[in-house]
Structure 1
Amino acid sequence: MIKTLINAVAIWIAAWIVNGITLSGDDWQHKTITVLAVALVFGVVNFAIKPLVKLFSLPLFILTLGLITFVINALMLWLTSWASDKLSLDFHVEGFWSALLGSLIISVVSWGLHLAIGDD
Structure 2
Amino acid sequence: MTAPVRVTHDRGVRILFKVGITAVALWVATVVIDGISVDGDTAGRRALTLVAVAAIFGLVNTIIKPLIKTLGCAFYVLTLGLIGLVVNALLLWLTSELAGELDLPFHVTGFWPAFWGAIVVGVVGWLLHLVVPDKDDKD
- Common topology (TM > 0.5): yes
Q: Confirm or deny that 1:75 pairs with 2:90.
A: yes
Q: Which of 37, 47, 72 in structure 1 is aligned with 2:62?
A: 47
TM-score by length of 1: 0.98
User: Aligned partner of 1:11: which letter?
Assistant: L
Gaps of 5+ in 2: 1-15
Q: Which protein has the larger Cα radius of gyration, Structure 1 or Structure 2? A: 2
Question: Over residues 17-54 of structure 1, what are the superposed CA-to-partner deviations in whole Å (9 max), with x where a residue is unaligned?
Answer: 11100111111010011000000000000001111011
Q: Calculate the aligned-residue CA RMSD, in Å.
A: 0.6
Looking at structure 2, the residues matched to 53 and 9 of structure 1 have their Cα atoms a distance apart, in angstroms, of 26
TM-score (norm 2): 0.85
* 1:77 aligned partner, one-letter code: L
Matched, 1:27 2:15: no
CA deviation map 1:73-106 (0-9, x unaligned): 0011001001100111000101100000000000
Ranked by relative contact order (alpha carbons within 8 Å, sequence separation 6 or more), the top structure is: 1
Spell out structure 1 runs of 4+ moving beyond 3 A: none
Q: What secondary structure is seen at the aligned counterpart in 2 of 1:25?
A: coil
Residue of structure 2 in register with 1:108 after alignment: 123
- SS of the residue corresponding to residue 97 of structure 1 reads helix
Distance 2:25 2:116 in 1: 12
Q: Secondary structure at the match of 1:26?
A: coil
